[in-house]
Structure 1
Amino acid sequence: MATHSVHVSGIAPTTTQAHLHDFFTFCGTIDAIDFKAEGGSATIHFQKSSAAKTALMLNGGTLDAATLSVTSDTAHEDEEHTGTGADAAHHIEQSDKPRAGIAAEYLAKGYVLSDSILNRAIEIDTKQGISKRFLSYLTTLDSTIGAKALGPDKTVSGKVVETVGAATQQARAVDEQKGYSKSAGDYYSRALASPLGGRVRAFYTTTSKQALDIHEEARRIAAEHKAAAASAAPAAPVAAPAAAVETKEKETPVEKA
């Protein structure tokens, strides 16, 4: 357990263990947290080394208005993501995701990460590459959605210059008819099914990006969360129109003196 751990200091007095868990769970599955509230420090134990490596990326991040110091005595490395079969295509863990994507999730949730942290995420992705498991997952989604929206053997990301406009319009029309992006199971399938599908796929499959690209992806994720929350919220009762109230008042008989 201790092998995949990071040490966190500079924790705000208002921060609870639940806050720490919510913050670091974006990195991957947490096994345990040793929290010393009085000293403002904690040790986060992760299930995977790759999750600990992502946590180190967050050194200098902000939680509850305090700047965190995230360090480790161990040099954590990513695991080999060799699976490319059916299981890899349908089951993605948080630690499988590109670091730039994880950083975008932090921003979408409202956490504050400096551009230096975002550039650190991009640097890790550039050196490490995108995991084969995650690429297999997106490729499967890409072809599945493309077949539904554009026809057999089509992919959302397949962009022939002469037909990309028509393909986008056709994908949008099919989505409006079948509601595929609304019924899709997760953010990635909904995003790929949207007219922005090609751009989303490029963000998660290439390492050539800038901090601004992460901010843009964060806005897309936040908009997705907002839309999901709005659709899940119960409809508010409709108030009677003011005109109708006034009419009733005017129709009430008045006794003569």
Structure 2
Amino acid sequence: MCKKVIVTDISDKASEKTVKDFFLFCGKIKEFELIKEESNDKQLAYVTFERDTAAKTALMLTNAVIGDSQITVRPADDDQSYNDDSDDCDIQASKPKAAIFAEILAAGYTLQDAILEKGIEFDSKFGFSNYFKQYLAQIQANLKNLDQHYKVTETVTTRATDIDKKYSVLNNAKFV
């Protein structure tokens, strides 16, 4: 079970925070070390994740761009297998890979089409998207049950209407 990856070809212009934030999209980081390579103008990072699913996601990010360089991500130990025996709940690592890649893109990073295709293929193979949708649907159902039991929506609507009647909020509001 490998939770550690080595990232090479990182631009020397990329800060430690930028690189660490980039890999946080994959999941929780246990250890992180960024080293300036003596032989060239690149940096090297050792990233150890709490879960191996996060490391698997990180491996898919080879050829992503951090700063002005395409990075290479490989396992720290090529002989280790990737069985996830962890029961820890790391929401980021259990998200669909396509969702993680969307977050990375939204944060302003650049990914190649091949990386996105790998993520979508991984999700369809292992069904993480369906699992995540079911999880969200269960949360939504639980919230609906709580609302029906405690009548939160009804109470809030009634209070808002009472406040509006008392202070004429809607009549006094200026719409832009």
Shared fold (TM-score, shorter chain, > 0.5): yes
Spell out, residue by residue over 1:212-235, the C-alpha distance to the aligned partner (whole angstroms, 9 max, x if none): xxxxxxxxxxxxxxxxxxxxxxxx
Q: Which residue of 2 aligns with 1:47?
A: 50
Count of aligned residue pairs for this structure pair: 145
Query: Taking structure 1 as the reference length, what is the TM-score of the superposition?
Result: 0.49
1:174-193 to 2 correspondences below 5 Å: none
**Post-superposition shift, 1:137?**
2.6
**Post-superposition shift, 1:17?**
1.9
Q: Distance in 2 between matches of 1:77 and 1:53?
A: 10
Q: Which runs of 4+ in 1 moved over 6 A?
A: none
Q: Is the 8 A contact 1:30 1:46 kept in 2?
A: yes
Deviates more, 1:112-121 or 1:31-40: 31-40
Quick check: which one's helix share is greater? 1
AA in 2 matched with 1:108: A
| Rg larger in structure | 1
AA in 2 matched with 1:64: G
Quick check: which one's strand share is greater? 2
Q: Which residue of 2 aligns with 1:103?
A: 101
Spell out, residue by residue over 1:17-57, the C-alpha distance to the aligned partner (whole angstroms, 9 max, x if none): 22211010010111111221235211111111000000001
* Other structure's SS at 2:2 match: helix
Q: Which residue of 2 aligns with 1:10?
A: 9
Q: Which residue of 2 aligns with 1:76?
A: 82
Query: Structure 1 residues 106, 77: CA separation in 2 closer, same or farther (over 3 Å shift)?
Result: farther
**Post-superposition shift, 1:133?**
6.5
Query: Structure 1 residues 105, 126: CA separation in 2 closer, same or farther (over 3 Å shift)?
Result: same
AA in 1 matched with 2:55: A
Identical aligned residues as a percent: 33
Spell out, residue by residue over 1:51-74, the C-alpha distance to the aligned partner (whole angstroms, 9 max, x if none): 000000111101112100011124
Query: Structure 1 residues 4, 92: CA separation in 2 closer, same or farther (over 3 Å shift)?
Result: closer
Spell out, residue by residue over 1:129-165, the C-alpha distance to the aligned partner (whole angstroms, 9 max, x if none): 117863553122332466689x89xxxxxxxxxxxxx
Query: Structure 1 residues 46, 135: CA separation in 2 closer, same or farther (over 3 Å shift)?
Result: same
Q: Distance in 2 between matches of 1:139 and 1:109?
A: 26
Higher RCO structure, 1 or 2 (CA under 8 Å, sep 6+): 2
* Pairwise CA RMSD: 3.0
Spell out, residue by residue over 1:150-190, the C-alpha distance to the aligned partner (whole angstroms, 9 max, x if none): x89xxxxxxxxxxxxxxxxxxxxx8xx96xxxxxxxxxxxx
- Structure 2: segments with no counterpart, 5+ residues: 158-176
Query: Structure 1 residues 79, 135: CA separation in 2 closer, same or farther (over 3 Å shift)?
Result: farther
